[in-house]
Amino acid sequence: MIIKTPSKNAAHEHEVTDQAVYQGRRKVLKQLGYTGALALLSQSAQANPFKWFSDDDTPTFKRNPLSFEKSDALINPMTQEGVATSYNNFFEFGTSKNDPVENAQGFVVNPWQLEVTGMVENPIKLDYDDLLKRFPLQERIYRLRCVEAWSMVIPWIGFELGALIKAANPLGSAKYVIFETLNDPAQMPGQRSRFVGGGIDYPYVEGLRLDEAYHPLAIMSVGMYGQTLPPQNGAPIRLVVPWKYGFKSIKSVVKIRLSDKRPKTTWELLAPNEYGFYANVNPEVDHPRWSQARERRILGSKLSEQRRIDTMMFNGYDEVASLYSSLDLRSNY
């Protein structure tokens, strides 16, 4: 049973279309106790087709246009914005792919504080405006390969992670960069309830080796498709590491800590045989439950807008290969 305690953003919920329709199949079994067998069948099945009509009622998070240096990279075609912003893994807002877009619209991103701390000489605190202004913003059109064997092409806007870390002046002994997502159960239903959040211990933690973090392809993103990020994609600031599986690219980051010890990352803790610390995209190393050799590129929301393609080593970003020249990528998955 999902028990939602009222919170500030709960005020939005009365504006939302019938919850049974919204949360669809996830609620079905909970309703078994109350409703007859047929009602069970019809509600579960109707849940999704009906959502088509109810989308307009969702209060939408307000995004703002950004000024940035446009990318001249040609990775065509890109994934439709509407798909990239409504098909998300962000368990803090629910484990179903369409939960985040439904549950995150009231998420407060301003005020925000991102701190860079730990083994640094010059700890930094950035508020919301700093995130958008402290570093010049660039557009980066990257492939995003999810560990679940689907992928998208997304135009991110952000700045290099290396620039942020250098600004904090890391100590020579720092070896790893550890990231943490906001911990705010009042705003994140998945953190309030283990049933909503998939049984993960929050806050979500990710990490990179310092040399990985310094690679110019690794960026902190504050926007996509020309505008600030929507909450379901990790507003106001998230990591994007395009040569690694998507779960490494942690969302809604509040803390970046430098350390000499490798962290245990969230998915590594949950299923160490399936998700490793490195999580480099690698077509030759299968996930224990599915093949990683190929992927389904999602370009749009129609069945005809899906392409089966080969997965590329490092997701096609060969320039990072030298980071791993002395590493056995099969055992360090």
Residues near another protein (CB under 8 A): 25-26, 28-30, 32, 37-38, 40-42, 44-46, 48-49, 51-52, 55, 82-83, 86-88, 91, 95, 97-98, 101, 148, 150, 195, 197-200, 270-271, 289-291, 293-294, 296, 298, 300-306, 308
What six digits make up the tokens of 93? 């807002």
What one-letter code names the amino acid at 245?
A: Y
Q: Which is nearer to another protein, 151 or 282 (CB)?
A: 151
* Closer residue to another protein in complex, CB, 72/310: 310
Dihedral sign (CA 292, 229, 47, 34): positive
Q: What size, in residues, is the chain?
A: 333
The residue among 36 and 216 lying less far from another protein, judged by its C-beta, is 36
The total of other beta-carbon atoms located within 10 Å of residue 123's CB is 13
Number of Cβ within 10 Å of residue 313's Cβ equals 16
When the beta carbons of 32 and 171 are compared against another protein, the nearer one is: 32
Minimal distance in Å, beta carbon 303 to another protein? 5
Q: Least separation, in Å, of the C-beta of 222 and another protein?
A: 23
User: In the complex, what is the shortest distance from the CB of residue 308 to another protein, in angstroms, rounded to a whole number?
Assistant: 4
For residue 304, count other CB atoms closer than 10 A to its CB: 7
Closer by beta carbon to another protein, 30 or else 261? 30
The CA R_g of the chain, rounded to the nearest whole Å, is 20
Residue 175 and residue 55: Cα distance in Å, rounded?
A: 46
Whichever of 100 and 155 has its CB closer to another protein, that residue is 100
**Least CB distance from residue 53 to another protein, whole Å?**
10
Burial class (CB in 10 A: 0-12, 13-18, 19+), 318: exposed
Identify which of 203, 303, 302, 216 has the alpha carbon closest to the alpha carbon of residue 257: 203
Which of 27, 21, 102, 84 shows the shortest CA–CA distance to 226? 84
